Structure 1
Amino acid sequence: MIVAVPDSQPRLPLRPELAGLEPYGAPQLDVPVRLNVNENPYPPSASVVADIASAVEAAAHGLNRYPDRDFAELRADLADYLHRESAVRLDPAQLWAANGSNEVMLHLLQAFGGPGRTALSFAPTYSMYPEYARDTSTEWVTGRRETDFSLDVDHATAMIAQVRPSVVLLASPNNPTGTALPLEVVTGVLAAAAQVPGGCVVVVDEAYAEFRRVGTPSALTLLADHPHLAVSRTMSKAFGMAGARLGYLAAGTPLVDALRVVRLPYHLSAVTQAVARAALGHATELMAQVEGLRRERDALVTWLQGRGLQVADSDANFVLFGVFDDRHSIWQGLLDRGVLIRETGPHGWLRVSVGTPEETAAFKAALVEVAGL
């Protein structure tokens, strides 16, 4: 009898542009101090956990039914939160949410990108942006940031006129640099995008907005006058809800309605909606943690600078620092001492998330030992 042996490397009709690629992801290692993915280091309090558990229990009684596919109550709660946080009153119809801001961004590229269209950003910036473009068959083009990681509005305007993108992605605060964009830069980009034939959506990614320094405004304040603007946020960082996977976006109603066309049916589970609404009910408590993390960040910047290192201005919950001739050896040396940070950004730079005081102390001690500071 002849037995067919399965081919260990079957021929699959993989898209050519995906051949040989590795999936995105920072290292997930079990070490004592994990400061590599910009998580909030503080777990939810007992009161937050209790309210989440109660909300999930209530939702569980109806899990035989599909959830509200347009999550009207969650959108209303998000609108209320943004009013308190940024003093901008939005109609719930102007809010959109998905499984993390990653899915929000994918919805944007599905709706406004695609074959024959271009997405533009300015490097260095978030490393997932080109993957959203790739996955939607959108051409990806990058301009440059300045040596201090700011964005020159004249350069941005020239790139928009040259490339004629359908989507411009601006992270503010920027990842991995932590740099926030002044509103005059954003309005300059919006003005240039308004001249693109066929239209251009400008997305300001404010995943770390709650950590911005006092006096740094949100692009939410520009929404009323710019229907081609979208501002994305997340509950992963400031709210300490990375495991809940809830990202959201604010924009004009026509832009939001376009995202409703491309989303999968019932893409936000009843459990996700319940968890997010319960956490939003504790926004005041959770934002008090944010203030402490801001202080830790600023103290860490001062400490790194005092050791003779270059440090990028940060309005986020992480710090980009360098410059090292062999950054990988520094990264590995820290890891060998139980401290995991991120090897990312421009050549020679490293990024460390702001942790608890104890985690920051462990990072400092390890860095002094490894780098000889």
Structure 2
Amino acid sequence: MTNQQDEAKTSALEALPLRDDLRGQSPYGAPQLEVTHLLNTNENTHSVPQVVVDAIGEAVHHAATSLNRYPDREFTELRRRLAQYLGHGLTEDNVWAANGSNEVLQQILQAFGGPGRTVLSFPPTYSMYPLLASGTNTQYIHGVRQEDFTLTPESAAQQVKDNQPNIVILCSPNNPTGTALGLDVVEAVYEAGEEFNTMVVVDEAYEEFALEGTRSALTLLPGRERLIISRTMSKAFALAGARVGYLAASAQVTDALRLVRLPYHLSAITQAAANAALQHVDVLLATVDQIKAQRDRIVEELGQMGLQPAISDSNFVFFGWFDDAHAVWQGLLDRGVLIRDVGIPHHLRVTAGTEEETTAFLVALREVIGA
């Protein structure tokens, strides 16, 4: 699309009676380009195993015979299977699901945010948080991290006390930096928010890739009725195209989300695909160790190049330091490797893919640095 076409499209949009806070905004989305190696959106780049493909196909075929009827509004089987997968004594009453974890987060903001309410998070972090806040008319508060992008319990707790938010979102492992939060940060934030009845959300989209010894916030759920743990089947499960996100929380929280969800929001096809996949958890997660090995390889080899990769508990690596990070991004793209320019000066982010994809990235990066 040419600049002239872009301007015409923008002008036509602005002519509509759009909400004032949406004027001039751009939709969320990573570049979708035709290149050899797509390593920019943190997908699991391994193909879905054939046994899972066959199981999903059979389940969807069966579901198609009754598409004249609405699906199970409570997606009971799916909640039961997700609770079983998560463990920690959770039951179906503690689990909720939606069309991707973004919709899960949106429903949380619809239920506990809204006009006159606030949500606090700590950039650099997942760039959808302020967009979800805007879409639900919730004021977004930009918290502050240390210079090395870490977050201490003391700092996080003080910022909660200072801002008195209705919701806090903690991303762990954090996107785009990749490092997990210590549970002491979650505990400190929860305790600081008690006085203000603050809901605390821990976004664990990449939890399955965590380093050994990293503990999930699921262990903190007992006795904390305002704590929510968000997860997804898009990453470790290699089901980004299925759009299934879910959360674990107290039964009161899932009841609250029933007040804002759209009727029958999870289609029969989505439920069938997810339920079939969850019958093959071991097969689906078999690539996780392979991905973690490539992630660790990236961290090691970037260090050998004299770069500064962050410690990663995820399936991607955040790294710098570049005088012109975008020029490096472009150099990689020219060589058929698409990674993510996350807009943080001097830094880039790359998804850990297959061994072949990782090799292609590392070879291309050495060429770009050498040039």
Residue 194 of structure 1: aligned partner: 194
Query: Counterpart amino acid of 1:238?
Result: A
Number of aligned residues: 361
Residue 289 of structure 1: aligned partner: 287
Q: Distance in 2 between matches of 1:340 and 1:82?
A: 33
Would the aligned equivalents of 2:199 and 2:227 in 1 still touch at CA under 8 Å? yes
Residue 161 of structure 1: aligned partner: 161
Is 1:149 paired with 2:153? no
Residue 126 of structure 2: aligned partner: 126
Residue 20 of structure 1: aligned partner: 24
Higher deviation after alignment, 217-226 or 139-148: 139-148
Higher deviation after alignment, 200-209 or 15-24: 15-24
Deviation readout 1:42-97 (Å, 9 max, x if unpaired): 111111100000000110011000000110000000001111xxxx1201011000
**Following superposition of structure 1 onto structure 2, how do residues 70-109 of structure 1 map, counting pairs within 5 Å?**
70-83=74-87, 88-109=88-109
Q: Distance in 1 between matches of 2:78 and 2:12?
A: 47
Residue 49 of structure 1: aligned partner: 53
Shift of 1:10: 7.5
Q: 1:364 to 1:233 in 2, by over 3 A?
A: same
Q: Which runs of 5+ in 2 are unaligned?
A: 1-10
**Following superposition of structure 1 onto structure 2, how do residues 211-226 of structure 1 map, counting pairs within 5 Å?**
211-226=209-224
Would the aligned equivalents of 1:148 and 1:312 in 2 still touch at CA under 8 Å? no
Q: Distance in 2 between matches of 1:9 and 1:293?
A: 42
Deviation readout 1:100-140 (Å, 9 max, x if unpaired): 00000000000001111110011110000000100011111
Residue 4 of structure 2: aligned partner: none
Aligned to 1:168, the other structure's residue is in SS state strand
Shift of 1:346: 2.5
Shift of 1:21: 1.3
Q: Distance in 1 between matches of 2:218 and 2:26?
A: 35
Aligned to 1:119, the other structure's residue is in SS state strand
Query: Counterpart amino acid of 1:61?
Result: T
Q: Distance in 1 between matches of 2:25 and 2:185?
A: 35
Would the aligned equivalents of 2:121 and 2:169 in 1 still touch at CA under 8 Å? yes
Which of residues 313, 324, 335 is equivalent to 1:326?
Answer: 324
Aligned to 2:241, the other structure's residue is in SS state coil
Aligned to 1:351, the other structure's residue is in SS state strand
Deviation readout 1:225-266 (Å, 9 max, x if unpaired): 211000000000000000000000000000111011100000
Residue 7 of structure 2: aligned partner: none
Query: Counterpart amino acid of 1:45?
Result: P
Would the aligned equivalents of 1:167 and 1:202 in 2 still touch at CA under 8 Å? yes
RMSD: 1.2
**Following superposition of structure 1 onto structure 2, how do residues 314-353 of structure 1 map, counting pairs within 5 Å?**
314-344=312-342, 346-353=344-351
Q: Distance in 2 between matches of 1:186 and 1:265?
A: 33
> TM-score with structure 2 length normalisation?
0.95
% identical equivalent positions: 57
Residue 68 of structure 1: aligned partner: 72
